[in-house]
Structure 1
């Protein structure tokens, strides 16, 4: 079952790479309307929405931009779209188009120029 994947991911020497490779398979099956893949993606959207809503409610004002980063959000028609209906409409979702480390590189370069 899908829950057998959790140890396979976290016991991997490269969990991030394992998630990326598995997500491709899940998204392909999702596109083919596989019920297990749909369940996995819907559960992921529910879990992410719970985390986002908890952060919004406990640590921020409701009117926030939420930045989604990582390979799971490259398919903007799947998880980001599902999340839109699960978070307050006053908050906006944006998918980060480049690796987060690039922001640190940009900030460092600005410091050098400063």
Structure 2
């Protein structure tokens, strides 16, 4: 696009494209448009939602472990189930919450 100078030396305002950019929230509302997006703002929102979901999964495992430890007998969980929940809590909170949250959310 070439701009021509007016007699005052300024560009003609009719030649500029004054359309507003499309908002990332209005750029389609389907699941496909959200999952296949390359918009950094949408990707950050998806990171935040996923990290929050994993936080609640790890928190639920920790709650069950704490409920088991509240009584001296093993009346809520069996020993192998307790070990599995303890491991699940550690893996989810470290690998799916802590490690992704800092660089991805802050970096994006």
TM-score class, shorter-chain normalisation, is: 0.3 to 0.5
RCO higher in structure (CA 8 A, sep ≥6): 2
TM-score, scaled relative to structure 1 = 0.34
Rg bigger for which structure? 2
- Name whichever structure is richer in strand by fraction: 1
TM-score, scaled relative to structure 2 = 0.36
